[in-house]
Amino acid sequence: MIARSTQQIQQPNWISVLRDSYSDPIHLLRDLGLSPTDVEFLHEHSSFAFRVPRPFVSRMRPADPKDPLLLQVLPRRPELLKTLGSSTDPVGDLSQRVSPALIQKYHGRALMIISGGCAINCRYCFRRHFPYADSVGAAQVDQAIDFIRGDHSISEIILSGGDPLLLKDEHLQATITRLATIPHLRQLRVHTRLPVTIPSRITDSLLHTLTTTKLSPVIVFHINHPNEIDAELSTAFDRCRSAGIMLLNQSVLLRGINDDAATLRELSEALFAASVLPYYVHLLDPVDGAAHFDVSVKKAISIAANLRAQLPGYLMPRFVREIAGENSKVPIA
């Protein structure tokens, strides 16, 4: 009896790790042995909250103000720069919603927003201003499922957010079970960064949910720098791969973080060693507050050419831009 009641109150490990995330950048800087002046720290209140799980922090180099993982999450003064052409809806998401939680831009696939939050808040995020409040909820999921059921051209559903894996396993299982009843759906894709920041998010029940549906499962992770991959994460990826899930990765090209061919080659090789294939390198979407991460198209083309000369074709990610109104992500020249 005692054993059972203990089990009932026990939360999966990832939820307690998530709760234990850093939510104050000053604490993070202190623990890394850095002072705010070392890093152009932005003290002013930002509407985009600070949140970083500890397993991700454990891969940062202490006392390095240019650490590529730290720079992805730390609010810095250049965020206040407003540049021409940047906006709060850079890729036209709002105009392409076919129902409040469903964005359909491309043939055959639709993207469903099922969570408004993430485990980590990346400062360059293109959805940092997205109005999640009117997209996420049970009624919105019902409407999205009705829409997909009525549109026979959709064969792939992409679960996105925010981060879809922020939902608990029971909730995901319920949504996926409903999606699997739609006869014309064949693939289930999950776009997530959560396991990268908290590897224990790859639970047995999640693997069970993803591999026992009639839909073919694909996970697209989001990793920008080889230092993000450690032994614990590799083990989690191996478990996904052994369960039969196709694993891909997308990165964002970020100034001062991964905007050179050597870093991206190392990333492709580290991904491959961890059972993941590189899929996309996205040019930054021009979102307000992220101009300091921007890499020019000209430089991106030269990095891509340099990278292509160093890698086998299957480890070469596609360099793409998202242009509102186009019928696919657009390869750079």
Ligand X SMILES: *Cc1c(COP(=O)(O)O)cnc(C)c1O
CA distance 323 to 333: 14
253: tokens are: 């090209």
SS3 41: strand
Nearer to ligand SF4, 193 or 329 (CB): 193
For the beta sheet containing 277-282, the strands, ordered from the edge strand earlier in sequence to the opposite edge, are 97-99, 102-106, 109-113, 156-160, 187-192, 216-222, 246-252, 277-282, 318-321, 330-331
Is residue 282 part of the contact set for ligand X (CB under 6 A)?
no
Is residue 125 part of the contact set for ligand SF4 (CB under 6 A)?
yes
Is residue 118 part of the contact set for ligand SF4 (CB under 6 A)?
yes
Nearer to ligand X, 106 or 272 (CB): 106
Is residue 250 part of the contact set for ligand SF4 (CB under 6 A)?
no
Q: Are 259 and 299 spatial neighbours (Cβ–Cβ below 8 Å)?
A: yes
Nearer to ligand SF4, 201 or 222 (CB): 222
* Interaction residues for ligand X, span 104-133 (CB under 6 A): 105-106, 109, 111
Is residue 285 part of the contact set for ligand SF4 (CB under 6 A)?
no
Q: Which does 222 bind (CB under 5 to 8 A by kind): ligand X, ligand SF4, none?
A: ligand SF4
Is residue 122 part of the contact set for ligand SF4 (CB under 6 A)?
yes
Instruction: Provide the minimum distance between the beta carbon of 158 and ligand X in the complex, in angstroms, as a whole number.
Output: 5
Q: Are 135 and 142 spatial neighbours (Cβ–Cβ below 8 Å)?
A: no
Q: Strand 109-113 to strand 102-106: parallel, antiparallel, or no bridges (unpaired)?
A: antiparallel
Nearest CA to 261 out of 316, 219, 205 is that of 316
Q: Which does 105 bind (CB under 5 to 8 A by kind): ligand SF4, ligand X, none?
A: ligand X
Nearer to ligand X, 143 or 306 (CB): 143
Q: Which residues of the chain form contacts with ligand SF4 (CB under 6 A)?
A: 118, 120-122, 125, 127, 162-163, 193, 222
